[in-house]
Amino acid sequence: MVCEKYLNLKMIEILKLLALMDAHKRVVKISSKELADKIGQSFQTAARKLKELEENGYILRTIDKDGQYIVITENGEKLLYKEYLDYKKIFESVEEIFIRGKVMSGIGEGRYYVSLDGYRKQFREKLGFDPYPGTLNLKLPKEQAYLRRRIDEEDGIIIHGFKTEDRTFGEVKAFKCKIGDYEGAIVLPQRTHYPKDILEVIAPVKLRDKLGLKDGDFVEVEVFL
């Protein structure tokens, strides 16, 4: 069974390449050497893979003195479509991600900004809660960097910047989240002294006390995209 699954994966690789050449729409001409160059394999490997596709009924192939002509069959399209549905399930059903970080003390910056009326009013209106004046700061391990970038790429909930007589305060992007049994939000300020591996979480309660957290503890946050 494992061997069959492996063969299917290898055949999908070639089917995808042929489909990108429109072989699911029309007969295309491609030599084994040309295919070998495209997949970075030997001529013999490319020829063997085409033979496997043909024997499994995923392509129809005609070889004559002018070259090799290939079209993807209905079974081949079904195999590709199943693969497409798997990827669709992976990428289109992602509504939340789980990110894990180590609790650390901040520099008091979060407490100051969360307390500002220009932000606080928007937090209440857009996030649905009045935040405790302070943030829970999490330092993310290296293996969490990809998930952190995923969050950066999403639109999020925009908390607009504002001006006072003294200075201008920048925009903040927020995402609702859940940490333990408590609802909250992660906040990504446009301007911050923190590096990218620090995540700030706000909530209507003091999370350190409610969850019994201390510096060095690891905690997981469910972030809603």
The 3-class secondary structure across the chain, one letter per residue, is: CHHHHHHHHHHHHHHHHHHHCCCCCCCEECCHHHHHHHHCCCHHHHHHHHHHHHHCCCEEEEEECCEEEEEECHHHHHHHHHHHHHHHHHHHCCCEEEEEEEEECCCCHHHHHHCCHHHHHHHHHHHCCCCCCCCEEEECCHHHHHHHHHHHHCCCEEECCEECCCCEECCEEEEEEEECCEEEEEEEECCCCCCCCEEEEECCCCHHHHHCCCCCCEEEEEEEC
What whole-number percentage of the chain has pLDDT above 90?
A: 67
> 43-55 vs 2-20: helix axis angle to the nearest 10?
100
Q: May I ask the CATH class of domain 96-224?
A: mainly beta
Is residue 137 annotated as involved in ligand binding? yes
Residues of the chain with CATH 1.10.10.10: 1-92
Is residue 143 annotated as involved in ligand binding? no
26 or 40, which is more confident: 26
Is residue 4 annotated as involved in ligand binding? no
- Reported as a pLDDT band with limits 50, 70 and 90, residue 1 is very low
Model confidence at 6: pLDDT above 70: no
Q: Out of 9-18, 110-119, 161-170, which region has the weakest mean confidence (pLDDT)?
A: 9-18
pLDDT tens digit sequence for 140-157: 999 999 999 989 989 999
Is residue 106 annotated as involved in ligand binding? yes
Going by C-beta distance under 8 Å and a sequence separation of 6 or more, which residues neighbour residue 113? Answer: 119, 169, 189
> pTM to 2 decimals?
0.65
Is residue 192 annotated as involved in ligand binding? yes
C-alpha torsion sign, points 148, 109, 174, 177: positive
Model confidence at 212: pLDDT above 70: yes
Tell me how far apart the alpha carbons of residues 94 and 89 are, in angstroms, rounded to a whole number: 8
Is residue 206 annotated as involved in ligand binding? yes
Going by C-beta distance under 8 Å and a sequence separation of 6 or more, which residues neighbour residue 19? Answer: 72, 80
168 phi/psi in degrees, rounded to 5: -110, 135
Model confidence at 97: pLDDT above 50: yes
Residues of the chain with CATH 2.40.30.30: 96-224
40 or 23, which is more confident: 23
Is residue 107 annotated as involved in ligand binding? yes
Is residue 171 annotated as involved in ligand binding? no
13 or 175, which is more confident: 175
| Best CATH choice for the domain 1-92 from the list 1.10.10.10, 3.30.1780.10, 3.20.19.10, 3.30.1360.170 | 1.10.10.10
Is residue 205 annotated as involved in ligand binding? yes
Question: What is the pLDDT averaged over residues 49-60?
Answer: 93
Is residue 225 annotated as involved in ligand binding? no
Is residue 208 annotated as involved in ligand binding? yes
Is residue 48 annotated as involved in ligand binding? no
What whole-number percentage of the chain has pLDDT above 70?
A: 95
